[in-house]
């Protein structure tokens, strides 16, 4: 069974009853209901047959899109400072560090490619995350 849902009919039909579409329904040898698996199923309104909207799934999708749309922090290979892509051209390929003036390509500043970068937190604003410092 899938997580919690909040199904609604787009037309507001009452009573709010929905039919399972494309989900596995299991029965025993006598044909009695034994359970179901509805993780990838859709539902439709029993009254108007319109596909139901799952408000909780919509909320989860909106949160996921917002997280993916957050600006990506880049690290200057020259001074190690953190910066964001310019607002006027967020897809710019070549960046210039406002601190030291080093010009670098976007891929060079991506922490995942460098393998050492993490977004600085409030306690570590300078972005100094040298592993050797942790041992001292």
Note down pLDDT in tens along the chain; length 136 residues: 456 889 999 999 999 999 999 889 999 999 999 998 888 889 999 999 999 999 998 998 888 877 665 567 788 999 988 888 777 776 778 888 989 999 998 888 876 544 444 444 444 444 444 444 444 3
Q: Give the pTM.
A: 0.45
- Which 8-state DSSP code applies to residue 20? E
- Which 8-state DSSP code applies to residue 99? T
Neighbours of 92 (CB within 10 A): 12
Contacts of 4 (CB under 8 A, 6+ apart): 56
């Amino acid at each position: 069974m899938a997580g919690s849902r909040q199904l609604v009919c787009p037309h507001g039909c009452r009573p709010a009853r929905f039919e399972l579409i494309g989900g596995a329904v299991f029965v025993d040898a006598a044909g009695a209901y034994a359970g179901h698996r509805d993780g990838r199923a859709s539902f439709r309104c029993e009254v108007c047959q319109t596909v139901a909207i799952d408000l909780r799934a919509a909320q989860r999708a909106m949160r996921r899109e917002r997280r993916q749309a957050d600006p990506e922090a880049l690290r200057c290979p020259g001074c190690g400072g953190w910066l964001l892509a310019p607002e006027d051209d967020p897809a710019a390929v070549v960046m210039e560090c406002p601190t030291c003036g080093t010009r670098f390509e976007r891929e060079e500043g991506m922490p995942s490619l460098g393998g050492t970068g993490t977004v600085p937190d409030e306690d570590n604003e300078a972005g100094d995350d040298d592993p050797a410092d942790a041992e001292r």
